[in-house]
Chains A and B, each alone.
Chain A
């Protein structure tokens, strides 16, 4: 049973795994911290929605590296785009400032110079502009399409659909 003097907090992920983490790590999760502070009695176990055990593994890796002053060694290169998105959502839910910064930068790096079509697919977002609206915004931002090394918009004609 966890007590307030214990240094370990129990977190239960969406897939039912229980992680016992140091209080200091739990403190970096503002969402969890808020739950702990709100509870009058001692908390036995905190469920964290939207967070899976493989996310917790990475969060713990990052925490260990930052405590050792090696946070720069943390890398999400091995994650594919969907996995990175999921991880970002989990970290966003937990409200972890530093790791959020790292992940938003990682997503930004993967988006740089990519075409509108690619980014739509990456984020799974539909174009909700009318053709007229799209044309107007395209014209207004024409300067942004003039870089030398930007991916061409293969499917721009399809925007009309």
Chain B
């Protein structure tokens, strides 16, 4: 029976570099030799994105990263929290489990219909946002928001999901309102999901009481519009998110992925919707 201690550290490092970041982190607990192999640059270099220019450009946005000595520490720093890039228009983070790139597009990078008109939309600073500005909806009938990402910013051979990240503070107009969310590769298929952005699933017609049957019937008809539709979830950073769709980045060529939020049919006013951005992360 071969004693595995005969395997040099470099060999163990090769094996570990073919596992995952979580495995390499855990297995540093096996023994001193294993730890040395598991913590080595050879291993963590494999987990970091392979494009060196890319890493350099990210570091240039976050000077504290420039002093990091080891690839493991760099990986942990890049996967620990989002780094704001592109003049506050995007944030970047590595998904710790897989090393894949995650991007959040800031609302400032979107094309928002009526977005420049202060009567309808304001751009405000919110301390709980990672970006300098958040889009605040004062009121609008025509809700149309469009964003785009080039797949060159993402990891190859990965299935990605796009998530609208937002808050509602004293909102109105979103209850019982179906909204169309779309994701599609330019020149390819566009898939639309119909969702309800109101996280409150409680039927409102209870408020009217049993006596007013017309009102109840009217409310029930409204609620039918959103029965079974996906609702937002709360994120760990306490914003809400809802999946817009997914796409596969083969990265054989660079493509543009278009995403949109559209509600222009109901003719009802919508108020107090705060858009942080769209997060694109591996599924």
Contact = CB atoms under 8 A, between A and B. Distances in A.
Interface in A67-94: 82, 85-86, 88-89, 92
Interface stretch (B9-17, B132-140, B175-183): B9-17
A112 B16 CA distance: 9
Contact of A145 (B2, B24, B26, B96): B26
Contacts of A114: 23
A108 B15 contact: yes
Interface string B1-21: 111111100010011101111
B97 interface: yes
A126 interface: yes
Nearest to A133: B32
Provide the main secondary structure of the chain A interface. helix
A105 B18 CA distance: 6
Given A104-B18, A112-B20, A116-B27, A137 B35 contact: yes
B6 A144 contact: no
B124 interface: no
Interface residues of A, number: 38
Task: Sort chain B's interface into a size bin.
Answer: 20 to 34
Contact of A144 (B7, B16, B25): B25
A138 B97 CA distance: 18
A64 interface: no
Contacts of B25: 141, 143-144
A111 B15 contact: yes
Contact of A129 (B3, B19, B20, B31): B31
A113 B7 CA distance: 22
A97 to B, nearest CB: 11
B207 interface: no
A92 B7 contact: yes
B34 interface: yes
A32 B247 CA distance: 49
Contact of A85 (B4, B14, B96, B97): B4
A138 B30 CA distance: 11
B22 interface: yes
B22 A150 contact: yes
A125 interface: yes
A92 B22 CA distance: 26
Contacts of A150: 22, 26
B29 interface: yes
Contacts of A20: none
Contacts of A126: 31
Contacts of A105: 18
A50 B24 CA distance: 28
A107 B15 contact: yes
B98 to A, nearest CB: 11
A103 to B, nearest CB: 9
B268 to A, nearest CB: 41
Nearest to B27: A119
B19 A125 contact: no
Nearest to B96: A143
B28 interface: yes
Nearest to A134: B29
A88 B15 CA distance: 11
B5 A141 contact: no
A116 to B, nearest CB: 5
A92 B6 CA distance: 10
B7 A108 contact: no
A120 interface: yes
Interface in A125-151: 125-129, 134, 137-138, 141, 143-147, 150
Interface of A: 50, 82, 85-86, 88-89, 92, 100, 104-105, 107-109, 111-116, 119-120, 123-129, 134, 137-138, 141, 143-147, 150
19 contacts: A85-B4, A86-B2, A89-B4, A104-B14, A104-B15, A105-B18, A111-B19, A115-B26, A116-B30, A119-B27, A123-B4, A125-B30, A128-B32, A129-B31, A137-B29, A138-B29, A143-B76, A144-B23, A145-B26
